[in-house]
Structure 1
Amino acid sequence: MWYFLAAFRKHPRLQNAIKNRIAILVPAKNESKTIQNLFDSLNKQTYDRSMFDVHVIVEDPLDPTIAMAKKSVNAAVHIVLDQTRKGEALDGALKAILKENPTKYDAFIIIDADNLAHPDFILEMNNALASGRQIVVGKKYIKNWESSDRKSRSLVSNCTSLVYTMVDDLGNSHRNSRNIPVSMCGTGMMVRADVIKQLGGWPYRTLTEDFEVMVDCLLKGFTSLYYQHAIVYTEEAVEHRVSFKRRMRWLTGFTQCNRKYRKAIVRKTFFEGKIIWKNFDFLYSLVPVYIFAGISLVLGIVGLLAAGAYALFFQPLAWPILKIALISIGLVYGVLCLFTILTLIVDRKVIKMTFWEVIAVIFLNPFILSEFVWIFIRIFTSPGNLQWDNVDRINYVAKKDE
């Protein structure tokens, strides 16, 4: 309940009299078709242009992105060969920057090549440094809703777009107030230079290196902040196939992190001095949700199978069992519908859907959320070896008034 109530509280806008020198890091492997929009948005920043530099990271020395980056934003380009993870790209660039001039920057901002930066994004990130927190996560708006091309949105993208509100406003807002490490999204994230120097670069190698950063906040004591006034626009996949692939990759990375670090976090939480209560948010906050959803779905599926078996033999118990199964499934569906409505209310000023799109999302989103169960099953039964691959991008067309 505290998580939900915190979502409706306004975050204070910070002010910073100090202009910090900031590096913008853009992993851009094979992103020449989409990255120009990001460059255009960086050229519109209200923050002093002499106080931030753009660093673009590519894999291929012949990548067209290189010429675009130098021409559009006078970027420094880092060629990191044989990238299989985003973390490898960031690590190569950061080590090169630290080697050349370790004291040049006060903070580093990571932003994906398919994003757009709000005109005040870097200004607000600089303001966020006044909080004293070492890692700052910005607010994610959805780029699909800003495009004048209607083909850049769909019911699937409308549903999956709500995940950012669920993670940030329905989760991180409460963590801010309790000084609990916030959940990270690898784009629109700022890391202070002292953290980068302590890490010696970017040592994270799972598919979700941003989640590894959150784990390091728990293990190394880094402080973090969700700051909703620093806004980036990210994009969501329009096709279900692409969306499913993305979510499969995210949850695979989540599972990798959980297996790699959970024992260390449990040890630090319970066995190295006093119990660290704030770590319980990471360890157990979603357990009641998993138990409720898991039991309800299992009861529903088992009930449906049992009812079908009884029906084949014309047994009188078929209908009562079927009712129990439908009630179990309906309960899960109803809770997810209510959760979707709450999410839409929290971000109602930002979510740009028509009335009928909202209605459709309320009824479809529970099915999209339920797919995470199937994805988890896929991960545990056939984990495979997913790579950091490029995915299909939307055709973003800026509106005329931009």
Structure 2
Amino acid sequence: MHMVEFLKHISTALLLLTGLCFFYQTVYLVVSLFWREPKHKPEKPARYAILIAARNEEAVLPYLLQSIRAQDYPSERITTYVVADNCTDRTAEAAEANGARVYRRFDRSRIGKGYALHDLLDWIRRGDGLEQYDAFLIFDADNLLCPDYISKINRTYSDGFEAFHGYRNTKNFGDSWISSAYAVWYLHDSVHLNAARMMLGTTCAVTGTGFGFTRALLERIDGWSFFTLTEDVEFDNWCAVNGVRIGFCREAMLYDEQASTFAQSWKQRIRWTQGGLQVSLLYAGRQLRGMLRGGRTGWASFEAATLSLGGYLLSALSGLSVAVTGLAQSGLRGLLAAVGCAVGGLYVGMAVIGALVLLTEWRRIAAPAYKKLLSVLTFPLFMLTFIPAAVCAVFAKRGWEPTRHTVAIGIGSLAAAPRE
């Protein structure tokens, strides 16, 4: 067989395999357009401990704590804990002034949100006691909760889910094309992926902030023990391979601050990619064993694998095979044509996702109309920059750096923001 024909067959096979592995995301996208609120079981009045890991967050933390105090859920069933993690500002004092119980942590050898949460939970266990709480909710210091967040998430808890995740909106969508791109991605994750998973009876995914778990699950895990650079992804993978079904509550909405400059975003995505590699190496074997179990656990493990190193390598090999085939067939012109088609296809696909997000979530996005429309064009560019970021992450020095948050506004101001 001629070498070019052989390369064509290899390229076609890899593209088909990649398409099959990720086709479920297209199915999710279609299913999500027919969203129906699930039927709920009778509510249980749960007691919640809110966990916030904060490092030099005095500018934004008070607004989160105020939004927690403004919840329509019974206040006697909510206790807020803040771990002031290696702070050099007045984060601890700001937390105490706004009614939180504060644990001051100074540990330069164990750096990262995972360690901070572990130590906070251990502090609660030795003090107030974990047994008085039915469930735990994790938020970042820059978040803002809508007034009915906890009452809505309590419905998902009452439905019997061991872990649960809310709807992740963005409070600074209009700051830049970077912040709007983050916003579109998290909205896509909520209203397309997690909503479809919920409708189809599979397990949902956890991303970053605004998620929770029951005390029973914490005991099963034997305490918070997720210490990679992406502790949320690690927790999500643990749930997938251990058969824990994560529920999604579309009506429990929070607002999150996103990076607004490319430099901030680049550092953050380098860390995310490195953390994803850590999780992939830790869970590759467990993902395979989970897939062999079949059923809901098998599917969740398969999804986790496609979103880990295995899926990334398959995608990279597919792209490389197309480029090599183009080069072998038509030289530099063929290579450029192949790369152009691949990039163009990715751009159009991401633009379609952005447009669908705007179609369904327009009224929920706090930004002027022209910035929303512009995001459809800039979101694909942002996603394409993940490719060089992933390459750089392999060679970059590994480490955790906090993201600086400066958007200090309250939930009332955000609710009044234009949504034309």
Whether TM-score is above 0.5 comes out as yes
Shift in Å, 1:136: 0.5
Shift in Å, 1:277: 4.0
Task: Rate the CA distance shift 1:137–1:234 in 2: closer, same or farther, 3 A.
Answer: same
Partner of 1:385: 398
Shift in Å, 1:85: 1.3
Letter in 2 for 1:135: A
Partner of 1:149: none
Q: Is the 8 A contact 2:105 2:116 kept in 1?
A: yes
How many angstroms apart in 1 are the aligned matches of 2:312 and 2:267? 24
The 5-angstrom pairing of residues 92-171 of structure 1 reads 92-100=119-127, 101-145=129-173, 153-171=175-193
Is 1:177 paired with 2:199? yes
Partner of 1:18: 44
SS across alignment from 1:213: helix
Q: Is the 8 A contact 2:271 2:398 kept in 1?
A: no
How many angstroms apart in 2 are the aligned matches of 1:335 and 1:62? 44
Partner of 1:47: 73
Partner of 1:313: none
How many angstroms apart in 1 are the aligned matches of 2:258 and 2:85? 24
Letter in 2 for 1:2: V
Partner of 1:231: 253
Q: Gaps spanning 5+ residues in structure 1: where?
A: 146-151, 311-317
Q: Is the 8 A contact 1:70 1:76 kept in 2?
A: yes
Letter in 2 for 1:5: V
Partner of 1:79: 104
SS across alignment from 1:232: strand
Q: Gaps spanning 5+ residues in structure 2: where?
A: 1-25
The 5-angstrom pairing of residues 311-390 of structure 1 reads 326-380=340-394, 382-387=395-400, 389-390=401-402
Partner of 1:28: 54
Shift in Å, 1:342: 2.3
Q: Is the 8 A contact 1:238 1:394 kept in 2?
A: no
Shift in Å, 1:20: 1.3
Task: Rate the CA distance shift 1:126–1:375 in 2: closer, same or farther, 3 A.
Answer: same
Correspondence for 1:5 among 26, 30, 34? 30
Aligned length: 384
Shift in Å, 1:51: 1.0
SS across alignment from 1:10: coil
Shift in Å, 1:67: 2.0
Shift in Å, 1:98: 2.3
Q: Is the 8 A contact 1:90 1:202 kept in 2?
A: yes
SS across alignment from 2:140: coil
Letter in 2 for 1:116: L
How many angstroms apart in 2 are the aligned matches of 1:227 and 1:401? 20
When structure 1 is superposed on structure 2, of 159-168 and 175-184 the one drifting more is 175-184
**TM-score normalised by length of structure 2:** 0.81
How many angstroms apart in 1 are the aligned matches of 2:177 and 2:274? 24
Shift in Å, 1:274: 12
Shift in Å, 1:116: 0.6
Correspondence for 1:394 among 406, 409, 417? 406
How many angstroms apart in 1 are the aligned matches of 2:229 and 2:315? 28
How many angstroms apart in 2 are the aligned matches of 1:159 and 1:174? 21
CA RMSD in angstroms comes to 3.1
Shift in Å, 1:346: 3.4
**TM-score normalised by length of structure 1:** 0.85
* 1:224-253 alpha-carbon deviations (Å, 9 max, x no partner): 111111111101111111112222222221
Shift in Å, 1:283: 2.2
Task: Rate the CA distance shift 1:285–1:5 in 2: closer, same or farther, 3 A.
Answer: farther
SS across alignment from 1:202: coil
Q: Is the 8 A contact 1:29 1:59 kept in 2?
A: yes
Letter in 2 for 1:176: M
How many angstroms apart in 2 are the aligned matches of 1:205 and 1:289? 22
Q: Is the 8 A contact 1:180 1:279 kept in 2?
A: no
Q: Is the 8 A contact 1:13 1:229 kept in 2?
A: no
The 5-angstrom pairing of residues 194-233 of structure 1 reads 194-233=216-255
When structure 1 is superposed on structure 2, of 176-185 and 196-205 the one drifting more is 176-185
The 5-angstrom pairing of residues 286-297 of structure 1 reads 295=318
